[in-house]
A and B are shown apart, each in its own frame.
Chain A
Amino acid sequence: MSPEPEPLVALVGNPNTGKSTLFNALTGLRQRVGNYPGVTVARKSGQCDLGPAGRVELVDLPGLYSLAAASPDEQVVVDALTGRISGDRRPDAVLLVVDATNLLRNLFLASQVAELGVPMAVVLNQADVAREQGLRIDVGLLSRRLGGVPVVLASAWKAEGVSEVRRAIAQALADRRLAVRVAWPAPVAAALDEVTAALRTDLGVEPTAAEAQRALFDASGSTTARLGWTGPRRDLVLRSARDKVRRGGYNPFAAEPLAHYAHLRVLLEGVVEEGGTARSASAAVDRLLLHRLLGPVLFAAIMLGLFASVFWLAKFPMGWIQDGVDLLRGFVAPKFAATPMLQSLVADGVIGGVGAFLSFLPQILILFLFVGILEDSGYMARAAFIMDRLFSWCGLSGKSFVPLLSGFACAIPGLLSTRTIEDPKARLATAFAVPFMSCSARFPVYALMCSAFIGPVYGPGWESAAMVGMHCVGLLFAVPVAFILTRFVLRVRPQPFVLELPRYQLPKPRDVLWRMWQNAAEFVSKAGTVIFAITVIVWALSYFPRDPAVADRVRAAEPSLTGEALERRVQAAYVEQSWMGRFGKAVQPVFDPCGFDWKITVGVLASFPAREVIVSTLGVTYSLGEGAEADSAQLRTAMQSARWQEGPRAGSPIFSLAAVLALMVFFALCSQCGATVATLAQETGGWKWAFASFATMTVLAWLAATGVYQAVIRLVPPA
């Protein structure tokens, strides 16, 4: 680091202006992604080379329409621009990214930013589209009207005008010119003075013009709260100031946009010359994709296609990763043959656990890829538009749809994609519902149970029916849970759902792939460490204590056994007397109403890091060794022949239809996924909600499993 830090330039703009594409073009992907402290808003920054003018640090702030801070994203922008974020500098200049086809609306934000008193440069992006629409923009005139701040035309998508943007940044930093500010109507100006004076005396520091405006104009009071201006005096001052505005003939909550837009109307006069036919292609596509009958059909087709391709495309790389992990295990394990404990830790604990986690990475990557394509093309907003009605009744919005759909592949990307939901409560409720979706880690459990017990007895028809049914169980529970949560716990007020349906455009492969990579890297680094820790803990619990007497006892009890069969029996005995085994036996009475024996209970407990672990745990407890898989015929036979050893059910099969269904329902609803719990904690900003989710899901899983078991043993005669 040089002693003199590089100038900091903030990228600000409306959503759908191609801001991130421009950011990628300017930084050339030399980027760092972090988090703003306390909130789950990503801070993307990168280095931008301005040529002779040196280098600057560019930070890409979340897209927003107005500085009236409502969502966490918007608050971050306001805080970042006012230098109120701890550990972050106040930007030396703002690069305002504007959609050239809709100057009036986009410049509203510019006009608000001008109030902050930061040097500014304006990029009229998507200039190519404006040209196609026959718009001619007088850039020089606009620059003069804005008070001489640099204004340039660019098309980041086509990489046009990027060097002009660099020059504009350099010029803004050199001239430090401020954009012209809005002239407030007299009553508004008087009210602002009143608020400024009160802020000055109450806080002891000179407030900025923007701070006074936010205090006066925002009903939410989030700015005054952050300034530390609270109490009855604040309310008194604000009420009197707003009354003053009202007496002047303005609505205090509408005066700001009215003044800005009036100012912009004058400013833009003669700047844009329209010619030819405006908007066309997008409206035509919408006629098809948002058709009242065809729209939902196409929507369902797109979503099913997405879901199916996530599943099928990921199958191959998942297989490779699994093979690779097995190969690595086979290669590494002999190296530790001298110390069996280390061997087990490395081979079973670390390689096995991390391998199981990594094998879901392809699904996550593909899902992020498709979600990125849908977002960048503009269809995601349409999907929310189509689905909104279905979600609005339980307090959610159309924006909850994608997270929930993603949850069917894996809860983690689902949770990460809740970041697009502005309202923190709606976001939390969605995050709570996501883990209920039947993710692909449940699949091996269903596959094992259905192929071992449902298929052979009731035929393949019932087998697939059970598979499909299990995928719906979570959905059945998620809807009422979300409803109760939004209505009675969080008391989500109906949120205004205002959403721009942007112009359709072709996604830029580099942007989509880059975002996919960033999301996946974040997921692996954050969730991966927690999973690793949990995996090692669970391994230790099922390994220790390792009393050699146990092995001797097995050998003495069954002298006929030799070689591998003996080894497996010894392993099973070790697991039985491990902490996990003892705990499982102790806890088994809790799961008795669900029809689980102690071996299943151990499987349930040991599969806390990841659901699919139960398959290999059952493999160990049924003395088949570690390598058991869902399609293992041996495991199936061993489980089919398992009988209750004692108690009232002695002699009857453990895996009866009732117990099998109960086990599947349990796994459909339980929260046996360390990664999900960790991600939930990260995304909701604390362990409180992660724990609440875990507890709710476990209790629901137990209740539902008990209900199913008790109902089936009473209603269905044994086959």
Chain B
Amino acid sequence: MALGLLPGMTLKLVRRAPLGDPVAIEFGGQVISLRKAEAESLLVDVAADCPVQRPRGTP
């Protein structure tokens, strides 16, 4: 949140680490690394223009 990850923002999964975890996401002009465990607590809608249609776990 302090980094400016706010509701209604568009996120982009930029890449995964070589061992699959953590992942790098881009938002608001910055790239942030998150572990999957933390990324899972984000509630995301898959954007209509997202190339990969793969909804993620949304607790």
B4 contacts A105, C-beta separation under 8 Å: yes
Interface status of B17 (Cβ within 8 A of chain A) = yes
Contact of A105 with B30 at beta-carbon distance under 8 Å, contacts A66-B2, A295-B18, A385-B24 already known: yes
A68 contacts B2, C-beta separation under 8 Å: yes
Contact with B along A279-298 (1 / 0, CB 8 A): 10011001000101101100
Contact of A501 with B29 at beta-carbon distance under 8 Å, contacts A295-B18, A389-B17 already known: no
Contact of A257 with B37 at beta-carbon distance under 8 Å, contacts A292-B18, A385-B24, A389-B21 already known: no
- Using a CB-CB cutoff of 8 Å, which residues 14-34 of chain B contact chain A? 14-22, 24, 28-34
Interface status of B52 (Cβ within 8 A of chain A) = no
* Residues of chain A with a CB closer than 8 A to B31's CB: 282, 286, 500-501
* Residues of chain B with a CB closer than 8 A to A385's CB: 17, 22, 24, 33
Could you tell me the distance between the alpha carbons of A704 and B12 in the complex, rounded to whole angstroms? Answer: 50
- Using a CB-CB cutoff of 8 Å, which residues 378-417 of chain A contact chain B? 381, 384-386, 388-390, 392, 398
Tell me, rounded to whole Å, the shortest Cβ–Cβ distance linking A58 to chain B.
Answer: 25
Interface status of A418 (Cβ within 8 A of chain B) = no
Contact with A along B1-19 (1 / 0, CB 8 A): 1111011000000111111
Q: Residue of B at shortest CB range from A389?
A: B19
A498 contacts B34, C-beta separation under 8 Å: yes
Interface status of B35 (Cβ within 8 A of chain A) = yes
Could you tell me the distance between the alpha carbons of A648 and B12 in the complex, rounded to whole angstroms? Answer: 72
* Residues of chain B with a CB closer than 8 A to A68's CB: 2
Could you tell me the distance between the alpha carbons of A282 and B31 in the complex, rounded to whole angstroms? Answer: 10
Could you tell me the distance between the alpha carbons of A104 and B3 in the complex, rounded to whole angstroms? Answer: 9
* Residues of chain B with a CB closer than 8 A to A498's CB: 3, 32-34, 38
Among A102, A286, A390, A497, the residue within 8 A (CB) of B28 is A102
Could you tell me the distance between the alpha carbons of A385 and B35 in the complex, rounded to whole angstroms? Answer: 9
Q: How many residues of A are in contact with the other chain, CB < 8 A?
A: 38
* Residues of chain B with a CB closer than 8 A to A258's CB: 1, 6-7
Tell me, rounded to whole Å, the shortest Cβ–Cβ distance linking B54 to chain A.
Answer: 18
Could you tell me the distance between the alpha carbons of A324 and B41 in the complex, rounded to whole angstroms? Answer: 60
Interface status of A559 (Cβ within 8 A of chain B) = no
A386 contacts B18, C-beta separation under 8 Å: yes
Interface status of A462 (Cβ within 8 A of chain B) = no
Q: Residue of A at shortest CB range from B18?
A: A296
Could you tell me the distance between the alpha carbons of A497 and B33 in the complex, rounded to whole angstroms? Answer: 8
Interface status of A236 (Cβ within 8 A of chain B) = no
Contact of A261 with B4 at beta-carbon distance under 8 Å, contacts A390-B19, A392-B35, A498-B32 already known: yes
* Residues of chain A with a CB closer than 8 A to B1's CB: 254, 257-258
- Using a CB-CB cutoff of 8 Å, which residues 350-401 of chain A contact chain B? 381, 384-386, 388-390, 392, 398
Q: Residue of B at shortest CB range from A279?
A: B29
A257 contacts B29, C-beta separation under 8 Å: no
Could you tell me the distance between the alpha carbons of A389 and B16 in the complex, rounded to whole angstroms? Answer: 11
* Residues of chain B with a CB closer than 8 A to A279's CB: 29
B15 contacts A261, C-beta separation under 8 Å: no
* Residues of chain A with a CB closer than 8 A to B4's CB: 104-105, 108, 257, 261
A102 contacts B29, C-beta separation under 8 Å: yes
Interface centre among B2, B32, B33 (most CB of A within 10 A): B2
A101 contacts B3, C-beta separation under 8 Å: no
Chain B interface, >50% SS class: loop
* Residues of chain A with a CB closer than 8 A to B7's CB: 258
Tell me, rounded to whole Å, the shortest Cβ–Cβ distance linking B42 to chain A.
Answer: 12
Interface status of A278 (Cβ within 8 A of chain B) = yes
B2 contacts A108, C-beta separation under 8 Å: yes
Tell me, rounded to whole Å, the shortest Cβ–Cβ distance linking A304 to chain B.
Answer: 17
Q: Residue of B at shortest CB range from A388?
A: B22
Contact of A497 with B34 at beta-carbon distance under 8 Å, contacts A105-B4, A257-B1, A292-B18 already known: yes
* Residues of chain A with a CB closer than 8 A to B19's CB: 386, 389-390
Interface status of A718 (Cβ within 8 A of chain B) = no
A286 contacts B15, C-beta separation under 8 Å: yes
* Residues of chain A with a CB closer than 8 A to B37's CB: 494
Tell me, rounded to whole Å, the shortest Cβ–Cβ distance linking B33 to chain A.
Answer: 4
Among A105, A388, A500, the residue within 8 A (CB) of B17 is A388
A500 contacts B38, C-beta separation under 8 Å: no
Contact with B along A83-118 (1 / 0, CB 8 A): 000000000000000000110110010000000000
Q: Residue of B at shortest CB range from A295?
A: B18
B29 contacts A101, C-beta separation under 8 Å: yes
Interface status of A65 (Cβ within 8 A of chain B) = yes
A499 contacts B6, C-beta separation under 8 Å: no
A501 contacts B18, C-beta separation under 8 Å: no
B6 contacts A501, C-beta separation under 8 Å: no
A261 contacts B6, C-beta separation under 8 Å: yes
* Residues of chain B with a CB closer than 8 A to A5's CB: none
Tell me, rounded to whole Å, the shortest Cβ–Cβ distance linking A578 to chain B.
Answer: 54
Contact with B along A234-254 (1 / 0, CB 8 A): 000000000000000000001
- Using a CB-CB cutoff of 8 Å, which residues 222-272 of chain A contact chain B? 254, 257-258, 261
Could you tell me the distance between the alpha carbons of A72 and B30 in the complex, rounded to whole angstroms? Answer: 25
Could you tell me the distance between the alpha carbons of A386 and B32 in the complex, rounded to whole angstroms? Answer: 13
Interface status of A51 (Cβ within 8 A of chain B) = no
Could you tell me the distance between the alpha carbons of A317 and B16 in the complex, rounded to whole angstroms? Answer: 42
Tell me, rounded to whole Å, the shortest Cβ–Cβ distance linking B6 to chain A.
Answer: 6
Interface status of A3 (Cβ within 8 A of chain B) = no
Q: Residue of A at shortest CB range from B30?
A: A102
* Residues of chain A with a CB closer than 8 A to B14's CB: 283, 286
Could you tell me the distance between the alpha carbons of A300 and B13 in the complex, rounded to whole angstroms? Answer: 25
Could you tell me the distance between the alpha carbons of A102 and B4 in the complex, rounded to whole angstroms? Answer: 10
7 pairs from A and B in contact (CB 8 Å cutoff): A65-B2, A290-B17, A296-B18, A390-B19, A392-B21, A499-B22, A501-B33
Chain A residues with a Cβ under 8 A of chain B: 65-66, 68, 101-102, 104-105, 108, 254, 257-258, 261, 278-279, 282-283, 286, 290, 292-293, 295-296, 381, 384-386, 388-390, 392, 398, 494, 496-501
Q: What are the 7 A-B residue pairs with the smallest beta carbon separation, nearest first?
A: A66-B2, A389-B19, A257-B1, A105-B4, A501-B31, A499-B33, A65-B2
Given A65-B2, A292-B18; 5 other pairs, CB 8 A cutoff: A108-B2, A278-B29, A381-B33, A497-B33, A501-B24
